Amino acid sequence: MSAPTLEVRDLRARYGSVEALHGVDVTVGRGRLVALLGGNGAGKTTLLRAVSGVVAQTGSILLDGEPIGGRAAAAVARAGVGHVPEGRGTFTDLTVAENLRLGTLARPRTLRGSADADLDLVYATFPVLREMRGRVAGLLSGGQQQMLALGRALLARPRLLLIDEPSLGLAPMLTRELFATFDTVRADWNTSILLAEQNASLSLSVADDVVVMAGGRVALAGPVEQFRDGSAIRDVYLGNHDPKAEADR
Amino acid sequence: MIRRGRRLVVIAWLVVLALGIAAPFYFSDYDLFDMTRLLTIAIAVAGLNLLMGHSGQVSVGHGAIFGVGGYTALIAVGTLGWPWWLGLGLAMVVCLVLGVGLGFAALKMGGANLGLLTIAVAAIFPLVLIRAKPLTGGNTGIYASSPLRAPEWIGLTTAQLEFLIVLASLVVVLLGLRNLTTGRYGRALAAIRTSPLLAVSAGIPVNRLKLTTFSISSVVAGIGGAYFAYILALAVPDSYLVTFSIALLSASVVGGVRSWAGALIGAAIIVYLPTLAESVVGGQAAGNWSQLVYALGLALCLIFAPNGLAGAVTAIGRRLSRRRAARPETTTPTQE
Amino acid sequence: MTEFIQQILDGLSTGLVYGVLALALCVVFQGTGMLNFSQGELATLSAYATLMLLLAGVPYWLAIILAMALSAVLGAVIERVVVRRLERGSEVSLLTLGVALLLGINAIMAIVWTTDPRDFPSPFGQGIVAFAGLRMTYQQLGSLGLLLAVTLLTALLFNKTSVGLRLRAVAQNPASATLLELSQGRWLMAGWAIAGAVGAIAGVVAAPVLSLSPGMMTFPLLLALAAATLGGLTSRIGAVVGGVLVGVVTSVSGRYIPGLQGDLAIVVPFAVVAIVLVFRPAGLFGRERTVRA
């Protein structure tokens, strides 16, 4: 079996003097989609930011076996980590086409030639972006901006794609449409995905593996089949599960 | 622990006030002159802090407003023969009108352009002063002999009396501003400067409050300007060039744009750094070298104390007191 | 009528200075998000550098190119050493830092070269072109050409190249830009470098007209600010048009409106700017920032 795309061991992260992640272990297998679940304050966004290098962290982070912990965010991005941040992070004063172009500029040098083909692929995956090509990104709806952010991140051909709370602020129908594209994304773009989401049921429909967090620690982890009935996850969300006690056991 | 911090702050202010009251009896009239000048400028900087630190608007023209206050007060005392406190009142009224006018114009021009409007006013002000010779005395300005002259029975020199009067006014102004900003008004301002959109949706009359704040800060600048002109007994265009407005802005930022103590610190820098720079450099080419030292000092303050010197002092104090307190439990922060 | 047009052409000289300086301000703003108060002093410094090179016998156009390169390097260094430390500063702090830089560079120039004004040779020679009863100097024509060239080049750079796209992205949303491999620091340095080079052109355009001294650009900076605001800080074309407008309006009103002789003539351009802003707060060519709340 090939090395996992992402392997995180004993990751701790802090905001200033307050520790937000207390030693987290996560693995994202090659080509797998791992759903990172948990309520508000569980540490999902912090985990993604720590992997991206945006917040200070200690612990081991291996990307395809290569350590990337401690590197600056731009360097981590260059190593092949794409990050679709919470709140989309589109450049609101630039057009859709310019936003996407920024994604192509972030491609590894060896893939520069195939940028146009990939751009067509993005437009195929998200047809609405082709329509809105010349429009300023700030005028797009939330769902369209989410697709733009996703397309832009994909154009950099990342090995690992981090997606943070894509459903935030989106209507349920739009969210379903968006999640439906994740399968295509994984296949067409040959990338592994770590998806942080509060919406557990929707995530379970697309995930291969699941990690549930609470209080800055991993509460449960395993392949998606284990979580079909959802009661274990519900327990964690409702605080019936004490991850600290588990860790101390 | 918070209460202890507050008590320390109050004690610190009281100590400073006590030192202030004692000062006239310790320093010579000559030294007092600079210190009184510092206090008048501190009043203006405090007004600027209200505007910039609390309502988030930028003014590069408060020097001109300061000047309007000074000229008005001296015209009242010198040309019209009024008593000093009436001149002060007139200065406040004129500056209020000016502030309302400018603030209103700025709103009409899109709030973000207040900075440009004020810098234009600051640049044009001395030119108008020179042109309006009959009223302002043109290049030579207006002279009025010691409006705050101490009467015989009080037993203080004029310099001492001036210092105490300005000190009292500064205390009143600072207390007033502080009360203003710690009530509902202050919270509304905080909302406006953090997110004008959210403030509007919360029902806060953003434009009206911005206008009010600008007007109040104008009046305060006028008060400072009036006293400044009184203790100099002179108002000339050269005192109120664009550079002075820029200096006030720098003083506000360097002291700490939201701190009242910062107003004093910033004023001290305006008054003492140039002379300090000159003494460091000394001699013939003093002018340019002292400007260089001033610029360096300014840059260093900005770089090492980005929240203002007042903020830096409290940060150090907090770090020292935290080291002595018990170790806090690690808590999970709420995300988003 | 001819005299009126001549007055307009005369205003063009200073208008071009304001235009190029406003362009530099715009470039720094678009590339770094900061309004740089020291832009004028940097341009003056570039002019001094050019003069030194000329006096050392370097041919004119080579001197300008070298000065542009030096200014670009200086801009990048200033960003790296001074401005970078205030990266997370508020808008006002950055403004004040600009002021500190202004005072510092001004002082250094006064110390090194004294405040005596100097003659600065025009790169275009001393001739005059006469047509239809009007006169334009080679300096005016040449500066106009330079201005158009620089405007065109910066427009191409910012709108058509990937370098320009990256600069705009980093200035707008540094956090997102980092996630796309754009290290903020490197690109901010680039923005300052480009602004420095444009400023060098401003210096070369201004010095023959205003005569070179440390205080050469302190007043023009003010008018360039007005011009950039008039045109719209987000629009380079607006900045240039604004600059020319300001120069022409000042010249014409100084001549035809009684009582506004000399320095008081600057009231008019500010009044014009104020009036325009009432109707278009983002400036003539500016784009209102789009915010979907």
**Amino acid C293: pLDDT:** 39
Instruction: Please give the structure tokens belonging to residue B275.
Output: 């002379």
Determine whether the interchain pair B336/A43 forms a contact, defined as Cβ–Cβ distance below 8 Å: no
Q: What residue of C is the nearest CA neighbor of B57?
A: C92
In a domain, C47, yes or no: yes
Determine whether the interchain pair A43/B332 forms a contact, defined as Cβ–Cβ distance below 8 Å: yes
Residue A138 or residue B44, greater confidence: B44
What confidence tier does B134 reach under pLDDT thresholds 50, 70, 90? confident
For residue A76, what is the enclosing H or E element? helix A73-78
Work out the burial of residue B104: count CB atoms within 10 Å of its CB; fewer than 13 is exposed, 13-18 middle, 19 or more buried.
Answer: middle
In a domain, B52, yes or no: yes
Instruction: Please give the structure tokens belonging to residue C270.
Output: 């500010």
**Amino acid C88: pLDDT:** 67
Determine whether the interchain pair B330/A19 forms a contact, defined as Cβ–Cβ distance below 8 Å: yes
In a domain, B82, yes or no: yes
In a domain, B330, yes or no: no
ipTM for this model: 0.83
Which chain C residues touch B52 with a CB distance below 8 Å?
Answer: 92
Q: How far is B150 from chain C (nearest CA, A)?
A: 40
CB–CB of A205/A179 below 8 Å?
yes
Share above pLDDT 90 across residues of chain C, in percent, rounded to a whole number: 17
Determine whether the interchain pair B335/A215 forms a contact, defined as Cβ–Cβ distance below 8 Å: no
Which chain A residues touch C234 with a CB distance below 8 Å?
Answer: 93
Determine whether the interchain pair B334/A40 forms a contact, defined as Cβ–Cβ distance below 8 Å: yes
Strands (E), chain A: 6-15, 18-28, 33-37, 57-63, 66-67, 81-84, 160-164, 192-197, 209-214, 217-223
Would the pLDDT of B2 be above 80? Answer: no
- Over residues B295-314, the pLDDT tens digits come to 888 888 888 887 788 878 87
Pairs of residues, one from chain A and one from chain C, whose beta carbons lie less than 8 Å apart: 80
**Amino acid B154: pLDDT:** 75
The amino acid at residue C122 is S
Task: Tell which of B51, B198, B253 to mutate to test the C interface (max C CBs under 10 Å).
Answer: B253
CB–CB of C132/C5 below 8 Å?
no
The amino acid at residue B209 is L
Would the pLDDT of B78 be above 80? Answer: yes
State which residues form the domain around B116: 26-240
In a domain, C74, yes or no: yes
Measured in degrees and rounded to the nearest 5, phi and psi for residue B150 equal -80, 130
Determine whether the interchain pair C103/B242 forms a contact, defined as Cβ–Cβ distance below 8 Å: no
CB–CB of C23/C243 below 8 Å?
yes
Would the pLDDT of A56 be above 70? Answer: yes
In a domain, C44, yes or no: yes
Would the pLDDT of A248 be above 80? Answer: no
Q: Judge whether B323 is closer than 8 Å to chain A, CB to CB.
A: no
What Å distances lie between residue A39 and A197, A241, B336, CA to CA?
A: 9, 13, 11
Which chain B residues touch A86 with a CB distance below 8 Å?
Answer: 336
What Å distances lie between residue A38 and A34, A214, A225, A229, B317, CA to CA?
A: 13, 6, 18, 16, 39
Determine whether the interchain pair A93/C172 forms a contact, defined as Cβ–Cβ distance below 8 Å: yes
What confidence tier does A241 reach under pLDDT thresholds 50, 70, 90? low
**Amino acid B271: pLDDT:** 85
What confidence tier does C292 reach under pLDDT thresholds 50, 70, 90? very low
Running DSSP on this structure, what letter comes out for residue A169? T
Q: What is the average per-residue pLDDT within B33-50?
A: 93
- Total domain count for chain B? 1
Strands A209-214 and A217-223: antiparallel
Determine whether the interchain pair A43/B330 forms a contact, defined as Cβ–Cβ distance below 8 Å: no
Distance of alpha carbon B121 from alpha carbon C89, whole angstroms:
27
User: CA torsion angle for C33, C38, C44, C48 (degrees, to 10)?
Assistant: -100
Determine whether the interchain pair C107/B288 forms a contact, defined as Cβ–Cβ distance below 8 Å: yes
In a domain, B277, yes or no: no
- Over residues A151-177, the pLDDT tens digits come to 999 998 899 999 999 888 788 888 888
Q: What residue of A is the nearest CA neighbor of B328?
A: A18
Sign of CA dihedral B222, B228, B231, B234: negative
Among B97-101, C108-112, C283-287, name the one with the lowest average pLDDT. Answer: C283-287
Task: Tell which of A71, A91, A94 to mutate to test the C interface (max C CBs under 10 Å).
Answer: A91
| Residues in Cβ contact with B328 at an 8 Å cutoff, skipping those fewer than 6 apart | none
Q: What is the average per-residue pLDDT within B1-14?
A: 75
Among A219-223, B40-44, B52-56, C88-92, name the one with the lowest average pLDDT. Answer: C88-92
CB–CB of C78/C192 below 8 Å?
yes
DSSP for chain C reads -HHHHHHHHHHHHHHHHHHHHHHHHHHHHHHHS---TTHHHHHHHHHHHHHHHHHTT--HHHHHHHHHHHHHHHHHHHHHHTGGGGTT--HHHHHHHHHHHHHHHHHHHHHHH-S--B----TT-S-EEEETTEEEEHHHHHHHHHHHHHHHHHHHHHHHSHHHHHHHHHHH-HHHHHHTT--HHHHHHHHHHHHHHHHHHHHHHHHHHH-B-TTTTHHHHHHHHHHHHHH-TT-HHHHHHHHHHHHHHHHHHHHHSTT--GGGGGHHHHHHHHHHHHH-TT-SS--PPP---
**Amino acid B330: pLDDT:** 46
Beta-bridged to residue A67, according to DSSP, are A62
Determine the distance from the C-alpha atom of residue B72 to the mean position of all C-alpha atoms in its chain, rounded to a whole number: 18
CA proximity to B121, closest of B280, B272, B240, B23: B240
CATH level 3 topology of A6-248: Rossmann fold (3.40.50)
**Amino acid C104: pLDDT:** 92
**Amino acid B45: pLDDT:** 95
What Å distances lie between residue C212 and B139, B295, C55, C58, C129, CA to CA?
A: 27, 22, 14, 19, 25
CB–CB of C176/A90 below 8 Å?
yes
Length of chain A: 249
CB–CB of A48/A162 below 8 Å?
yes
Beta-bridged to residue B143, according to DSSP, are B234
- Over residues B139-196, the pLDDT tens digits come to 888 888 777 777 777 777 788 888 888 999 999 999 999 998 888 888 888 888 888 7
**Amino acid A39: pLDDT:** 82
Distance of alpha carbon B233 from alpha carbon A127, whole angstroms:
75
Determine whether the interchain pair C179/A83 forms a contact, defined as Cβ–Cβ distance below 8 Å: yes
What confidence tier does B92 reach under pLDDT thresholds 50, 70, 90? very high
Phi-psi category of residue C232: left, alpha or beta, with phi > 0 → left and psi -120 to 50 → alpha: left
State which residues form the domain around C100: 17-215
Which chain A residues touch C166 with a CB distance below 8 Å?
Answer: 102, 105
- Over residues C184-217, the pLDDT tens digits come to 888 889 989 999 999 999 898 888 888 899 988 9
Distance of alpha carbon B184 from alpha carbon B209, whole angstroms:
12
List subunits contacting chain A, requiring 3 or more Cβ pairs under 8 Å.
B, C
Give the position of tokens 């540094």.
Answer: C174
**Amino acid C289: pLDDT:** 58
- Total domain count for chain C? 1
Distance of alpha carbon C150 from alpha carbon C50, whole angstroms:
18
Among B231-235, B313-317, C162-166, name the one with the lowest average pLDDT. Answer: B313-317
Instruction: Please give the structure tokens belonging to residue B173.
Output: 């102004």
Would the pLDDT of C71 be above 90? Answer: yes
Q: Judge whether A78 is closer than 8 Å to chain C, CB to CB.
A: yes
Running DSSP on this structure, what letter comes out for residue B103? H
Distance of alpha carbon B241 from alpha carbon B335, whole angstroms:
49
| Residues in Cβ contact with C18 at an 8 Å cutoff, skipping those fewer than 6 apart | C220, C223, C224, C227, C242, C243, C244, C246, C247
Q: What residue of B is the nearest CA neighbor of C88?
A: B306
Interfacial residues of B (vs C; Cβ cutoff 8 Å) = 52, 58, 105, 108-110, 112-113, 115-117, 119-120, 123-124, 127-128, 131, 197, 201, 242, 246, 249-250, 252-254, 257, 285, 287-289, 291-292, 294-296, 298-299, 302-303, 306
What confidence tier does C235 reach under pLDDT thresholds 50, 70, 90? confident
Quote the pTM value: 0.81
- Over residues B260-303, the pLDDT tens digits come to 989 999 999 888 877 777 777 665 556 788 788 888 888 888 88
**Amino acid A41: pLDDT:** 80
Number of H helices, E strands in chain B: 15, 2
- Over residues A188-210, the pLDDT tens digits come to 888 899 999 888 888 888 899 99
Q: Judge whether B333 is closer than 8 Å to chain A, CB to CB.
A: yes
- Over residues C116-170, the pLDDT tens digits come to 888 888 878 778 888 777 778 888 888 888 888 888 888 888 888 888 888 888 8
CA proximity to B237, closest of B138, B145, B146: B138
Distance of alpha carbon B262 from alpha carbon B255, whole angstroms:
4
Strands (E), chain B: 142-143, 234-235
Instruction: Please give the structure tokens belonging to residue B280.
Output: 């460091």
DSSP for B74-89 reads HIIIIIS---HHHHHH
Which chain B residues touch A40 with a CB distance below 8 Å?
Answer: 334-336
Distance of alpha carbon B252 from alpha carbon B50, whole angstroms:
10
Strands (E), A16-75: 18-28, 33-37, 57-63, 66-67
Distance of alpha carbon C206 from alpha carbon C221, whole angstroms:
12
Q: Judge whether A94 is closer than 8 Å to chain C, CB to CB.
A: yes
Q: How far is A139 from chain B (nearest CA, A)?
A: 17
**Amino acid B331: pLDDT:** 44
Max mean pLDDT range (C45-49, C86-90, C226-230)? C45-49
